[in-house]
Structure 1
Amino acid sequence: MESCVLIILVAMPGVWGGAWGVTFGDLCALKGTSVVMNCSYDYPSGYSVTNVGWSRPHYAAASGKWRLFFLSRLPTPPVHFEYVGDYNGNCNLKIHDVQRTDEGNYYFSFVTTLDRYTSTTPARLSVKELTAIVRPSTVAEGDDVSLTCVLGCPARTAVVWFRDGQRVLKPVFQARREDAGRYYCAVLGQETVRSASVVLNVQYAPKNVTLSVSPPRGVVQGSSVAFACASDANPPVTPTAYSLYKDGQFVSAGQSHTVLGVQPSHSGLYRCQAWNNVSWRGVDLMNSTEIRLDVQYGPAYISVSLEPQHAVEGSRVNLTCSAVANPAADNYTWWHKRTDSASSSPGPMLWAGSGRVLTLPAVEASHAGL
């Protein structure tokens, strides 16, 4: 009886059972993200890997030369570099919270029971940052604005937009004045990875133009009154770009106007007009609500009329007193100064009555006088 012997050959690592070598590619990463540098290595079969390590060129001050230093010896935060490979052909390296200082060349080396090997060419890490672009950065209210986030790395990455910390849903919109602020883009799901902020300046025509008067009421003839204009605008309205109008007629240019020695002729409807070289729906000049200035003054131009103009003794006579005043006079007092017929000299002033009209039912000689 013949016997048969089965011989099983098992090839232990290297994985490929080939020559010494390390395979990896260059990597581009956004600042602040965590990335994995993919890497594989090979070595002759029959040997075991006893140690692995990543290193970077570092300037050695003592020798004045550049040397490879293991990442564990470099001044970096704990677990900034994390080896996520194995001892069987996978040499992946994870870098947490990538920074500009991480940019550069990386080398992988490993030690087997036979020999040690270091990659002859490096893997290069490029570190980029998100760049926010707002076009245009200065815009008139109602115009279109577009937001563009430049990644810097070729890999497609989803991004989101924020304005002053608040989420922006649309990257293209018509600008409103409340859209002004600081914009930045960030990686979706890693919002701490963000660009620098870019300011959007939204210009708009004057709004809420107001005219105030001081004092607001009770302006008396001979006193002073001050007018002041204000508005909400971007760019702000310069003082010389305000104008004051009375009853539709230009009064003066400037944000403020003071009248000394107010007269009744200053009464009327006043409004303020403002402009800042920005139009709103084709309108350049914006007006405030009109304010009425009512100058108060005492009775003036007092006159007395007689009806009938020629009175005879015993007839009825009405004396009417007229005056210009603001507010209108509401209290009239009549006085009578008799004339002495013998001497033709006026006598004492006597009270004769009250009211705008004084009626003498039957005229007598004693009524003669002033």
Structure 2
Amino acid sequence: MAVQLPPNRGPCVLVCFGRRDLITTMPDRLNVLTGSCVQIPCSFDVPDKDKNTFNSAILLSGVWIKENSKFRERPDRVIFNSSKTANTYQGEITGNMSQKNCTTVFFNVTTSYSDKYYFRIESQPYLATDSDKPVNIVVSDLPSSPIITVSGEVKEGTPVSLNCSAVAPCPEPPPELTWALPTQFTTENQLQENPDQTKSVLSTVTFTPSYLHHEKNITCTAVYPVGTSNKTAEHNMMLNVSFSPKDTSASISPADPVSVGSCVNLTCSSTANPPVTNFTWFKISEGKTTQVASGLSYTLNVTGDGGLYFCEARNSHGCGKSKEVQLAIKGSGEHVTNPTVGVAAGTLGAFLLISLISLFVWRRNSRLHDGLERTDSPQGQNSPVGTVCTNQATAGEEPEEPAEDQPEEIQYGDIDFSKLQTKETPAAAQDRVQGQESEYAEVNVTGSRAQLPSLNNLDGLYAQVTK
């Protein structure tokens, strides 16, 4: 292989003055895949002192020298000359030399290609080599892993973009990038040029993260076509999603009813990123919510009343509220209940009150009717009225017979629903003796007393109830 040697310009030209005969621009390093190709981005310029000597109109030859720029004693270091048809390396200069573009592609790269390379131009009368700027080619059997970058904070509910880039030392064909994410996403791929003129493939994925994606892995995989097969490399990254407190819960220990004077401990737990900075405790009593403490745990001495408690967890992104937990007091007659329980109890009490009034009205009408027809009924016959009265009377007592001649004056007393049985009331017994008065009870519903209306108004009330 014939290579034109530069004229003798004196031994001290580069050393003494530090001048470069040729100024090339190339990457410092290229990572190449075995069996693939490598493209060397390259451009050059001529020093001012040689502007008159260099003529771009003259056909230029590009030469690549391996290992060392000194090739006079080692001509085998010249591995490629664009003016020759037979070269050690199979390749071509794809750049326009007349425009000072010396970009070159080498094919079928092997591990023996790993070395430093220098560029030289030859054009009469100008011959020059850039001995100060080599490119270092590193060949490996496995491709380099792609790189994942995040644009901005990954925050719950806010769309975010992730970028994955992989070097493309051989631009034809470039590597293919694929994603694996724990959610739906959209992608956009493009081949781009880097600042050092090398090529890379960039894939951008856009998605909206949830707190459920926190600490989940994402993967970007680069697939490099090499001959009839593929070689792959991947990059895994764990998502760091910022979100407000989730799954906030309050617990009480001990959970069973406790005695007055003992201590209980309430603990709040929550999941958040960044971690919770403030826990606050609240108590619900008599329909009012009051802040009682702050901190992860809350210890209190039990007094005479229990209560409903809940906690709030807060970080820089928001807050989360727990469900309510009940502090029950051992032996206490009163327990804190939810408002819905109180409404249900009140409804049941009202229903029982109305039922009792209806029963009283029915019994009064039945008693009057029985007094009018008793002369027509055989002694001891069990009529429906007698059956009802018997069920309401005390065992061993006969059913009452209302007075027929005197108008009834009705009085009201107390009836405890917990002791209500099917027996004759004291008022009925007194009515049998006196024939003039009957006593009925006052209704006691869950500790509160409700006065029954006078008997004179029962017929009208009964008519309203039975509508």
TM-score if structure 2 supplies the norm length?
0.38
* Structure in which a larger fraction of residues adopt strand: 1
